[in-house]
A and B are shown apart, each in its own frame.
Chain A
Amino acid sequence: MQGLITHKLSCIRGERAVFTGLDLEIKPGRALLLSGANGSGKSSLMRVLAGLLPSAAGHIEWEGADISADPDAHRARVAYIGHADPLKPAMTATENLRFWAQLYGLDPAIEPALYQFSIEHLADVPARYFSAGQKRRLNLARLAAGQNSTAGPALWLLDEPATGLDPGAVSMLANTILAHLSNDGIAIISTHGGRLDELIADRADHFTLQTSGSGVAG
């Protein structure tokens, strides 16, 4: 029951220190709600935790083992939702979702995942006709697809996942996250507050990144 731990984690972007000496600890079955002003380094922290960005100093442990010892294994346990929706406009919702599922070696049962975010009626519609909110729902359905697979990712890194979602969709997202947490998964969610935080508050800790580069636990 060790979960994810960071020790004195630092990140430098360009020539600027985004954050330094960051110590975090998230137990399995818990979510971390990450807040902080624009430019405080929430997205950079997400990308460092995903292994997309190298850290300048410090290290990250998963279940007691340094992730740099086996980067491939770490990548396999990460589900990452960034700012953009990685969808091809020419492909239908099903095709988009199936491509990512197959590439990640997940169970390509697409319909339940679409159903989880109430976009099953758009299954055969090319993504170019989707509204911004619908695109976000389809992107989030990747999480559901991973969840329904036998060996889905255990570490969810969600960078402002509720952007553009209506209240109904926020509840769907909250339910998906809660199901992941009951499964002993971990979720780190960057947020500017809102309904999603309230819905998962029971299982979430808070952390605020300061612009000076360190943070306070709340």
Chain B
Amino acid sequence: MFHRFANPARFSRIAARVLPWSAAATIALFVIGIYFALFASPADFQQGETVRIMYVHVPSAWISMACYTFIAVMSAVALIWKHPLADIAARSAAPLGAGFTLIVLITGSLWGKPTWGTWWVWDARLTSVLVLFFLYLGHIALTNAFDNPQRGARAAAVLALVGFVNIPIIKFSVNWWNTLHQPASVTRLDAPAIDPAILTPLLLMALAFTFYFLTMLLVRMRADLNATRARALRLSAAE
């Protein structure tokens, strides 16, 4: 019965070889990125030092959206080709995506306090991210809601695809709602006009976040595979 894990076993071997390198790249990128973000870039003349929150906020937002796309693609692969690795990839990515989405919300709130004077403003982007956070939570809860892990994975895959189709609709609706209800005085949380001095740390931090995401994804997938194998061994030992 281990033929089903033959391919995952190859994945485990490859992951073991890639992991040290991606972990090293993550650390190196963070060291350089944080140096540029905190010391080698200018403060904004309007927002002052708080603009540096952007170097965490914007990359997290990118990852949070890219991660949901990744989950949706993996879900389609899992449903169409029934590939066990795709299930595991989607299941492992979801909590990471939820974490990054939470970071977007928290940093957005921290950035909002000095900029807008309140912790939360129903800004169209932040509100969409909040809804995305709930989509992640639903996905995670559904994955873990069944006694049979495979049933959870497949149900969550359908949900991810439904969510993916709905994200543009939700985004459009929230934007429409926002233009109607938003007081005009509030400016959006935008990166100031892209200056090279800002672009360099932003790109470095985005790369660092991406490598961190990929490294953690590999670690989580390996752990998940090992847990699956342990369960299978325990079951076959019981027979």
Contact = CB atoms under 8 A, between A and B. Distances in A.
Complex contact flag A–B (Cβ < 8 Å):
yes
Interface of A: 12-17, 20, 56, 211-212
Interface-centre pick from A13, A16, A20, A56 (highest chain B CB count, 10 A):
A16
A211 B239 CA distance: 8
Nearest to A212: B239
Interface string B143-159: 00000111000000000
B228 A15 contact: yes
A55 to B, nearest CB: 12
A13 B149 CA distance: 10
A12 B239 contact: no
Contacts of A212: 239
Contacts of B232: 15-16
B113 interface: no
Contacts of A211: 239
B1 interface: yes
A12 B149 contact: no
Contacts of A56: 4
Interface string B207-239: 000000000000000000000100110011001
A212 B232 CA distance: 14
A15 B239 contact: no
A138 to B, nearest CB: 30
A12 B148 contact: no
A25 B228 CA distance: 35
A212 B239 CA distance: 7
A10 to B, nearest CB: 8
B150 A14 contact: yes
B4 A16 contact: no
The 6 closest A-B pairs by CB, nearest first: A17-B1, A14-B148, A15-B232, A16-B235, A14-B150, A15-B231
A52 B235 CA distance: 24
Given A211-B239, A212-B239, A14 B1 contact: no
A212 to B, nearest CB: 7
A70 B232 CA distance: 34
19 contacts: A12-B1, A12-B4, A13-B148, A14-B148, A14-B149, A14-B150, A15-B149, A15-B150, A15-B228, A15-B231, A15-B232, A16-B232, A16-B235, A16-B236, A17-B1, A20-B1, A56-B4, A211-B239, A212-B239
Nearest to A13: B148
B53 to A, nearest CB: 44
Contacts of A12: 1, 4
Contacts of A17: 1
A118 to B, nearest CB: 40
Contacts of B239: 211-212
Contacts of B148: 13-14
A131 B30 CA distance: 70
Contacts of A14: 148-150
Interface string B13-33: 000000000000000000000
A12 B228 CA distance: 14
A20 B239 CA distance: 14
Nearest to B147: A14
A16 B150 CA distance: 11
Contacts of B150: 14-15
A36 to B, nearest CB: 13
A14 B228 CA distance: 10
Nearest to A57: B3
Nearest to B4: A12
Nearest to B231: A15
A212 B235 CA distance: 12
Interface in B111-165: 148-150
A90 to B, nearest CB: 29
Contacts of B228: 15
A17 B1 CA distance: 7
A16 B4 CA distance: 11
Nearest to A15: B232
A212 B1 CA distance: 12
